[in-house]
Structure formats: C-alpha cells, structure tokens
Amino acid sequence: MSKAATRDKGSLPAKPAGRGLSDQLARLGIARDADLVLHLPLRYEDHTRLTPLASLSPGLSVQAEGEIVNTDIQYRPRRQLVCLMADPSRRDAQLVLRFFTFYPSQQKTLAPGHRVRVFGDVREGHMGLEMVHPQFKVVTDDTPLPDRLTPVYPTTAGLGQETLRKLVARTVASDPALTAETLPEWLIARRKFWKFGDAVRFLHTPPPRLNALTQHALDARTHPAWTRLKFDELLAQQLSLKAHRQARSLRRAPVLTGTGALTRKLVERVPFKLTRAQEHVWREIAHDLKRASPMQRLLQGDVGSGKTIVAALAALQAIESGKQVAFMAPTEILAEQHYRKLASWLEGLGVRIAWLSGSLPAKDRKSAVAALASGDAHFAIGTHALFQEGVEVPKLGLAIIDEQHRFGVAQRLALRGKGLAEAHQLMMSATPIPRTLAMTFYADLDVSVLDELPPGRTPVATRLVSQKRRREIVAWVGKACGEGRQVYWVCPLIEESEKLELQTAVALHTELTASLGEAARVGLLHGRMKPADKAATMDAFVKGDIDVLVATTVIEVGVDVPNASIMVIEHAERFGLSQLHQLRGRVGRGAAESTCVLLFEEPVGELAKARLKVIFENNDGFEIARQDLLIRGPGEFLGARQSGLPLLRFADLERDVALIEQARDAADELLQKEPTAARAHMMRWLGGKTDFITA
Ligand code: ADP
Ligand code: MG
C-alpha cells in the first residue's frame, strides 16, 4: 500500500504537514479549494466488493480479504517480505503478498492472525497466485465496504493517493459554494447539461456496477458528467479570451496615421508590384495602425508569399508617424537577412536602423542601445536580444515578430508583458493555425492571410531518394553547378547533440568538397559560426561565389536567395513536416526550374514514412499543416511540449470541436445576459487570472 496510507495508521513518523502538503499540491496546480474540486480522477478502482480467494485468477485487478497465516522476510533472489493469506473458511484458498520494499512496521501490520483487505493485480507466482505490492489494510468482520468506486488521482512524489482522496472528499463536501451552479438555467436546459455539482460528485466517486455503455463513456470521457466539465473548462477559456480582447480594446496605443512619405517611396522602389493579396493585407494593417487601441494581428502566408514587404510597409507607416519600430526574428541568420534587405530597401530614405543580436560585440551593442534609447534610431532589427534587459525603445509604436510560431505560446505571452502593451503588434507565420487553435488559444488575434504567391514562381519538383543512390545525386549536383545553378545541402538534424550536428556539418563539407572537386565551390554555414563569418558566407552565396552551401537548419526559416534552385536534405526522415516545407520553400524563388531532393536512410519508420509521403504529395503549406496536425496533434503546434505549460486539462482540441463551438457561442451570450455568472465561472476555473494558458 502507499506510504501515505501506512502513515495514516501512525506507523511511520509523521512528517510535519502544512508547508510540505501545500508544496505538493502546488506541484499539481492546486492552490485553492476550488482547484481540489476540479482535480479529477484518472481512473477508478472497484473496492465495493470482495472476490473470494477461491475465485481469483491471474490477470484480474481485484479486492480480496483473508487472514494472514505466515509472514517472512526472504532473501532470495532478493530481500522481500512475503506473506501468506488464507480464507478462514477455506484454508486451501490462499494468496501470496509480496513486497520488495517495505517498512518494519508493515511486517507488524501483516502479522499472522490479522485479517487484511488487499487490492491489486493477481498474477501467477511460483508459490501459487500472488499480488506484488498490493494496497492493504487491517480490517475486522464488520469493516464496511465503500459503496462508491475509488478514485485514482494524478499525484506527485510524497503525496499518497489516500491522503489526496480524503482531502478531495472532505473539500467537495465542505462548502456548497464550491459545487454551486455557475451557469444559468436556460443554458443548462438548452444543452441538456448535467448540473455542475452532480457532475463533479459523480466523477470523483461514481457508483459501482455501471452498465457497460456507461462505464465505457466514463473511461472515454464522453459521459455527460465529463461533457459538462469539459464545456465549463472551454467556456472559462473563451471568457478569458474575450476578457483579454476587451481589455486590449480599452488600452491606448499610438495612432499611426502615416503620411505616405516613406511607404509610397518603398512601393515605388522595390523591383516588383505588390500582389493583390499583399495589397489587401497591407490595407488591413494600415487601418489597424490608425486606431487608438493596440493591433494584435497575425499575418499568415505560405513560405515565399512575400510577408517581409508587408512588414516593411507597416514599419514605415509607424516611422513616418514619428514612432519607433522593433522587428524581431527567431534566428540570427534570419534577423541578419532582414536587416540587410531592409537596409537596402530603405537606403537614402533617412531611416536609421539599429541592429541588435545576442552575439554583437559589447561596443556595437552599446551604441545600438544608445541610439534606440535616444530615439535617433527609428528601426530596431534583431533577435530576441531586442527584448532583453537594458534595451529601451521609448517611442515604440509597432513590434513585428517574424515566424512567430517558432517562439511558442510561452514566449508570446512573455512578450506581452515586455512593455509591448502599449504598442501595436504584427506577428508573421508561414504555418497556418489549425482551426481549433484559431478558436481557442489564438482567438484573441486578428488574422490576415496572404493566399497568393508572387507571380513567376516555378513549382518545386520533389524527389525521394535513398542514401544508396547518393553518388548519383552528388554527380547530378556537380553537373547542375556547371550550368550555373546553386544548391543548398542541408545536414542531418541531430536533436540530441548540437556538437554532433556541428561535426556532421564539417564532415559533410569535407566530403562534398572532395567528391565534387573542380565541379563546384562548397561553402559551410552553421549556427556556431561567428556572425561576421556567417554573414560573409551568406554574402558569398548570394553573390554566386559559392555553388553549394552546406548548412545546418539555421537556414530553415526565411532565408531568401532567388538563384538557388536545388535543395538536398540529408536524412530527411528525421525532420518534421513544417521544417521540410520551410526548407523546400528556400528554392523555387527564381525563374529556374527547382528541385528538392529528400535523401532518406533505410529503413524508414512508420511516422517518418507518413511525413515523407505528405511532403512528396503536397506543395501547399495549408494542406501540409493540416496533415501535420493529423499526425502530431495540436499540442505540438503550441510548443507546449517544450515549455511544459499546462494546456486544457480535460477538453481535447481534436475530439471536442463541437464543444469548443458551443462554448464560444455561450461565452458571448453569457457576457451579454449574465455578466455576474460569467465572472463567477471564470473565478472557479482561473481564480481571477485572465491568462488561461498560464493559469
Ligand atoms: P516570406 O513570406 O516567406 O517571408 P519573403 O517576404 O521573404 O517571403 O518574399 C519572398 C521573395 O519574394 C523575396 O525575394 C521577395 O523580395 C519576393 N517578393 C515579395 N513580394 C513580391 C511580389 N509581389 N512580386 C514578386 N516578388 C515578390
Ligand atoms: Mg519570411
């Protein structure tokens, strides 16, 4: 049995309660009584009935009772406590209890003559049927059986099930307000929902012997009691999102009317005409910037759809309105490229740009920071170094975040706190947001979509090639370089070790330099290079002084070299779908016919095979993202895995789409008709916090 239960019987020195317990509860996200009520079981055990020892058979998870006839510590094959239990009315019906870790007190509790009740999995042992580490307690003839199923809760080290069970049961019963209804009668009636109190009481301690259908619904979390809890959770999320949106509309942001002085010039001097889609989203953004409440807009467009020029126009509207702009990219390479491109676009327009990245020499950083602080620099471009301590942008009017999905929800929320509250925000992403996420975690954003690629793009032909045919590919690449084509050769992804990835990159560079010989000039680009060297290499590639650029995934996002028309990806089976799509999007930008070669190592696993098939069959980023979601689930999209943030606890973004829609509609109606109920509901689920995700 669990240590806690033993402790309850007083056989272990009692640890001081209080701080220890509240820390343990905090680890479970439980801070208030209301949280305990919402701490729902993972599953149940049936302690309501006893199975006679004579009817036990291996594989059953059951409760049984008997008298201890013998207790011994055995030493072979390892130290263990072995007890033999028998049915007093049928001495031949026996069960062995085996404990590999135990306290001396347990040996006393399980002394011969004691009557004990055990719960556990029955298995075949060499001394007959046995249970290993069963739960147990000493009973008398009239110790009652519980009349409800026994909940098994998510718990944490040091907090035993029994303690948690008692705590939850006591809390649920303690104060009727904790289980009171927050939803108005009409909403409950319309959806035929269970009452909240009935639902939580049922879920904590359901009655035994449910019929098969009900039992299945309970396990699958489709039971009406679960539906009610999931709905409530989603409703709280929707209410918090709306609260956010409303709070935003009340905040003041600078009105960036613009003069056209800079934006018009930029449109005139770029060597292309804006697509209709670009014109359209640019109008949406320009309109937002003129409003006195902060914009929070996501600009969504496939790889190569031309998001940068739209961002540049937005930036210029802010700058010509007398404000400063911060433009942030997730990698140094990408930030650097934006810096160069914007510097060339804006040359001679009198816009002063400050470049900030993590690896900037102290002296340069200091002058960039000073220029921003004094307002001399209008435009800050860089990595997340832009938002680090000591960097002040006193007249910040607009913050632009490129490839925002790379930053994850946690960073996105952290950014909100970084003095951005009063600025307009433009986020950009090539990864479309799955619909359920657009309705939930991203519902506080406005979205603009670039649904058209600039003209003159040549579709990329994708080839799946086994490593066995590597030599052919090398020869083909050599020949293509002879015809003036340029090539990205992407190193295998080694997630476990950056060092190993680096070594592989260097080795690949050496190999290709040797095998391509006179046919091509081979360059190397990886994340550990000094920024100046990176920039020089990129520059040489852009100028055509390098034919084949061996690169780690640093080039994954946003890099733009139109003459490069071949992409080779080593160990493509290791990459995620959106990474493959992003990488492939680096080619097909010029007039030349482009090819992406996906080299794979056999044998390829099932998931990897599914990914390669999707990337081979699809060119459209939206379709690829949809398939990606089917393979991985939306949690991944949020970057939750990395950040460890609790997302929705009960509702499932894939399975509960219908409930999400109902919750969204209900949130609107509730706020309008019953704002007090809405507040009470949010209180219960969020305890007054408004950030659902960080709640
Ligand atoms: P992404 O949306 O992936 O960030 P970019 O902004 O990097 O795309 O644009 C990709 C390429 O297309 C760049 O070379 C850019 O200069 C070019 N481009 C952008 N808009 C147009 C357009 N309307 N017509 C032609 N080329 C364009
Ligand atoms: Mg881009």
DSSP string, 319-351: HHTT-EEEEE-SSHHHHHHHHHHHHHHTTTTT-
Per DSSP, helices labelled H in 179-223 are: 185-191, 196-204, 212-219
278 lines ligand 1 (CB under 6 A): yes
Q: Encoding tokens for residue 480?
A: 């293509």
SS3 content of the chain, % helix, strand, coil (to 5): 45, 20, 35
621 lines ligand 1 (CB under 6 A): no
308 lines ligand 1 (CB under 6 A): yes
Strands (DSSP E) found in 207-268:
none
Q: What is the pLDDT of residue 80?
A: 94
Ligand 1 center from residue 308 Cα (angstroms): 7
474 CB-near residues (< 8 Å, 6+ apart): 512, 515, 516
Q: Encoding tokens for residue 649?
A: 């606890």
Q: What is the pLDDT of residue 653?
A: 77
pTM: 0.71
Q: What angle do CA 306, 311, 314 make, to 5 degrees?
A: 135
Residue 257 near residue 301, CB atoms below 8 Å: no
Q: How far apart are CA 279 and CA 296, in angstroms?
A: 19
Task: Give the model confidence (pLDDT) of 183-240 as tens digits.
Answer: 999 999 999 999 999 999 999 999 999 999 999 999 999 999 999 999 999 999 899 8
Closest residue by CA, ligand 1 atom 10: 304
Parallel, antiparallel or unpaired: strands 424-429 and 396-401 = parallel
**Which numbered ligand comes closest to the C-alpha of 402?**
2
Ligand 2 center from residue 300 Cα (angstroms): 10
Ligand 2 center from residue 323 Cα (angstroms): 23
Q: Kindly state the DSSP code that residue 159 receives in the 8-state scheme.
A: -
Closest residue by CA, ligand 1 atom 9: 306
Nearest ligand 1 atom to the CA of 274 is: 23
> Which of 239, 502, 616, 690 is CA-nearest to residue 624?
616
Q: Kindly state the DSSP code that residue 255 receives in the 8-state scheme.
A: -
**Which numbered ligand comes closest to the C-alpha of 449?**
1
Three-state DSSP class for 541? helix
**What's the sign of the alpha-carbon dihedral 475, 480, 485, 490?**
negative
Q: Kindly report the three-state secondary structure assignment for every residue of 132-155.
A: ECCEEEECCCCCCCCCCCEEECCC
Nearest ligand 1 atom to the CA of 303 is: 3
Q: How far apart are CA 682 and CA 659, in angstroms?
A: 17
Q: In whole numbers, what is the pLDDT of the chain averaged over residues?
A: 87
**Cα 674 to the center of its chain, rounded Å:** 33
Nearest ligand 1 atom to the CA of 562 is: 14
Q: What is the pLDDT of residue 453?
A: 87
Ligand 2 center from residue 178 Cα (angstroms): 50
Which residues are placed with Cβ below 5 angstroms of ligand 2, an ion? 558
**What's the sign of the alpha-carbon dihedral 209, 214, 217, 221?**
negative
Nearest ligand 1 atom to the CA of 450 is: 2
Closest residue by CA, ligand 1 atom 12: 306
Q: What is the pLDDT of residue 181?
A: 96
Ligand 1 center from residue 309 Cα (angstroms): 7
303 lines ligand 1 (CB under 6 A): yes
Q: Encoding tokens for residue 497?
A: 């070790």
Q: In the chain, which residues have pLDDT < 50?
A: 1-17, 640-646, 690, 692-695
Ligand 2 center from residue 360 Cα (angstroms): 22
305 lines ligand 1 (CB under 6 A): yes
Ligand 2 center from residue 305 Cα (angstroms): 8
First to last CA, the chain: 34
Closest residue by CA, ligand 1 atom 14: 560
Q: What is the pLDDT of residue 7?
A: 36
307 lines ligand 1 (CB under 6 A): yes
Ligand 1 center from residue 560 Cα (angstroms): 8
Which of 300, 309, 453, 594 should be mutated for ligand 1, with most atoms under 8 A from CB?
309
Q: What is the pLDDT of residue 617?
A: 93
* C-alpha dihedral, 219 to 225 to 227 to 228, nearest 10°: -150
Residue 439 near residue 415, CB atoms below 8 Å: no
Residue 107 near residue 81, CB atoms below 8 Å: yes
Ligand 2 center from residue 432 Cα (angstroms): 14
**Which numbered ligand comes closest to the C-alpha of 454?**
1
Q: What is the pLDDT of residue 494?
A: 72
| Percentage of the chain exceeding pLDDT 70 | 91
Closest residue by CA, ligand 1 atom 17: 306
Q: Encoding tokens for residue 303?
A: 């790889």
Ligand 2 center from residue 301 Cα (angstroms): 9
Ligand 1 center from residue 517 Cα (angstroms): 34
560 lines ligand 1 (CB under 6 A): yes
**What's the sign of the alpha-carbon dihedral 123, 126, 129, 130?**
negative
Ligand 2 center from residue 558 Cα (angstroms): 4
Residue 240 near residue 413, CB atoms below 8 Å: no
Q: What is the pLDDT of residue 458?
A: 77
Closest residue by CA, ligand 1 atom 16: 306
